[in-house]
Structure 1
């Protein structure tokens, strides 16, 4: 995995091993856990990344809406008032 540091990879591999042991009663080695993590990153990574981008886009859009409202509140009336 290129995107994880050595320490992050070791942590995730250990957590996968722990999951298999606690939830499935299976002991898997470091190589098997590393392969599983690599597979999950390859398969799930793009979905999770795209979800993060979508969430970030929503936050930015909301901030733009708020900024637009703030800017509109600063506008002052221009021109002469109409006489009736």
Structure 2
């Protein structure tokens, strides 16, 4: 899997969220450099777990849709003397 990368605007928004979290929840100030460092760490160390969960969720949705389509196709079938 390739490394998770964000463009400059996305990274700036994520860094701002980290800074806001530290300020509001931890009552600590964190600079941009430290926030970027933390974002990189979280992306490298935890990102794959969240990514894999998203892939598994997408697979489950797709499997459910395929099951629905399969059921709909069976409902179109007409009775004949042939067995399945």
Instruction: Tell me which interval the TM-score lies in, with the shorter structure as reference length.
Output: 0.7 to 0.9
Offset, 1:2: 5.8
1:45 aligned residue (44, 47, 50): 47
The structure that has the greater radius of gyration is 1
Tell me the distance in 1 between the aligned counterparts of 2:52 and 2:11. Answer: 22
Contact 2:4 2:47 in 1 (8 A): no
TM-score by length of 1: 0.88
Find the counterpart in structure 2 of residue 57 from structure 1: 59
Structure 2 length-normalised TM: 0.88
Aligned-pair RMSD on alpha carbons? 1.3
Which runs of no fewer than 5 residues in structure 2 stay unpaired? none
Q: Which runs of 4+ in 1 moved over 4 A?
A: none
| Match in the other structure for 1:26 | 28
Aligned counterpart for 2:12 among listed residues 7, 10, 13: 10
How many residue pairs were aligned?
79
Residue pair 2:22, 2:30 contacting (<8 A) in 1 also: yes
Structure 1 unaligned residues grouped into runs of 5+: 80-84
